[in-house]
């Protein structure tokens, strides 16, 4: 549906050229919700605005529905943009127009008749839950309702792609959830390909199928959302998902480990951090370690959550017992699809060589 090849974007800044995008390659599948996440200034808004050529890239190809938009003349580009709707952060509604008329604006500009506009806009207002507010003006509705008008307007031309540029960042958490649910509904019921730009990992978690992490104008990590959440590879990705899955253990956990280690006597002990997802979340793995390997396990910290019906989470456990049994336990956990990090805790005594497991 969307293919981006070798995309670069250079702006002329106050102190010389600024390279906002650097060699971006992306392939977005038809019908998926694809998230692009990064911190402020990472290049995510520059990237999304090249997809409909609101920003023309310095080099590279932007192929939507088999057509390279960078090769089109003005008239053909205007026609191609009708297949690409866009939802903005700040709504961009006209204060002098009603909800209905704001949603209908693209169709008026395209020259459709009043009857054709009504037949298209009325079902869209019903879809976004604004039928009863059709005659109100922007000053008379809430921020979430304004964004619903923006979504209806973006859908008016029956696009195949919907771009969302920080569409929920100005909204409160409850309204954000309702708008994300609406975007997912639009994706499923209309078969639209949705591209989400955000700096909020919660948005990615709630609605995206795949995600690309952008940093310094480059894509540094990409994959299925569940995979990226449970096995982040880059420091920037870990920092972004920290709001959902904390990457550092609290100091209180390490203090508790020290207390447990002091009680070991002749046994060995090790702090293990376990990350799991999918089927491994439902298996009685810890009871197996206790029953079959004779380990004592203290659960010190953890959480469990869900991404689109798939469970994921993490646990910090202190395992005490024979050194060989702890080694076997780590091997067993990994064989069951659990990611195991052997945590080095400074003053906590560990089995000789255990940190290299």
CA distance 5 to 318: 47
pTM: 0.82
Checking if the pLDDT of 353 tops 70, the result is no
Band (pLDDT 50/70/90 cuts) for residue 346 is low
3-class DSSP state of 153: helix
Instruction: Label residue 348 by pLDDT band (50, 70, 90).
Output: very low
Q: Which residues are 197's β-sheet partners?
A: 36, 165
CA distance 203 to 69: 29
What share of the chain in percent tops pLDDT 70?
94
Give CA separation, 322 vs 259, 292, 326, 349, 354, in Å: 18, 13, 6, 14, 12
Per-residue pLDDT tens digits for 28-51? 999 999 999 999 889 998 999 999
Residue-wise pLDDT tens digits, 65-116: 889 999 999 999 988 998 999 998 888 899 999 999 999 999 999 899 999 9
User: What DSSP string describes 118-133?
Assistant: HHHHHHHHHHTT-GGG
Q: Do domains 2-241 and 251-356 have the same CATH topology?
A: no
SS3 211: strand
pLDDT given at position 187:
93
Confidence of residue 266 (pLDDT cuts 50, 70, 90): low
Q: What would the pLDDT profile of 148-171 be if each residue is shown by its tens digit? A: 999 999 999 999 999 999 888 878
| Mean pLDDT, the chain, whole residue set | 87
Model confidence band, residue 345 (pLDDT cutoffs 50, 70, 90): low
- 38: closest CA among 302, 215, 181, 204? 215
- Residue extents of the structural domains in the chain: 2-241, 251-356
For the chain, helix (H) and strand (E) counts, in that order, are: 12, 14
pLDDT above 90: percentage of residues in the chain? 50
d(CA 269, CA 262): 10
Confidence at 16, pLDDT banded by 50, 70, 90: confident
Q: How many residues does the chain have?
A: 357
Which CATH number is correct for 251-356, 3.40.50.720, 3.30.70.260, 3.40.1010.10, 1.10.10.350? Answer: 3.30.70.260
pLDDT band at 280 (very low <50, low <70, confident <90, very high): low
pLDDT band at residue 221 using 50, 70 and 90 as cut-offs: very high
What fold does the segment set 2-241 form as a domain? Rossmann fold (3.40.50)
Q: Which residues pair with 85 in a beta bridge?
A: 162
User: Does residue 12 register a pLDDT over 70?
Assistant: yes
* Higher-scoring residue by pLDDT: 308, 219: 219
């Amino acid at each position: 549906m969307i293919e981006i090849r070798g995309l670069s974007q250079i702006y002329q800044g106050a102190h010389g050229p600024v390279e906002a995008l650097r060699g971006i390659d992306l392939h977005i599948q038809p019908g998926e919700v694809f998230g692009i996440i990064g911190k402020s200034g990472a290049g995510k808004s520059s990237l999304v605005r090249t997809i409909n050529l609101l920003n023309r890239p310095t080099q590279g190809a932007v192929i939507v529905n088999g057509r390279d938009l960078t090769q089109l003349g003005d008239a053909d580009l205007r026609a191609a943009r009708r297949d690409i709707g866009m939802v903005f952060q700040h709504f961009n509604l006209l204060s002098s127009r009603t909800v209905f008329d704001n949603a209908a604006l693209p169709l008026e500009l395209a020259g459709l008749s009043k009857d054709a506009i009504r037949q298209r806009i009325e079902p869209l207002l019903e879809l976004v839950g604004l039928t009863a507010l059709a005659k109100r003006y922007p000053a008379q509705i809430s921020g979430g309702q304004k964004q619903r008008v923006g979504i209806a307007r973006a859908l008016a031309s029956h696009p195949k792609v919907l771009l969302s540029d920080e569409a929920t960042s100005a909204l409160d958490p409850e309204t954000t959830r309702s708008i994300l649910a609406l975007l997912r509904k639009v994706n499923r019921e209309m078969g639209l390909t949705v591209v989400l730009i955000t700096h909020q990992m919660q948005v990615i978690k709630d609605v995206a199928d795949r995600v690309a992490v952008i940093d310094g104008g480059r894509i540094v990590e990409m994959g299925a959302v569940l995979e990226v959440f449970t096995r982040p590879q880059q420091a920037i990705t870990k920092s972004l998902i920290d709001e959902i899955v904390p990457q550092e253990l609290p100091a209180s956990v390490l203090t508790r480990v020290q207390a447990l280690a002091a009680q070991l006597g002749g046994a060995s002990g090790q702090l293990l951090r376990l990350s799991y997802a999918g089927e491994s979340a439902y298996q009685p793995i810890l009871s197996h370690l206790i029953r079959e390997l004779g380990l004592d396990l203290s659960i010190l910290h953890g959480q469990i959550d869900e991404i689109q019906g798939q469970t994921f989470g993490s646990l910090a456990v202190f395992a005490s017992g024979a050194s060989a049994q702890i080694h076997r336990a780590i091997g067993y956990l990994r064989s069951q699809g659990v990611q195991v990090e052997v945590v080095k805790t400074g003053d906590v005594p560990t089995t000789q060589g255990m940190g290299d497991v």
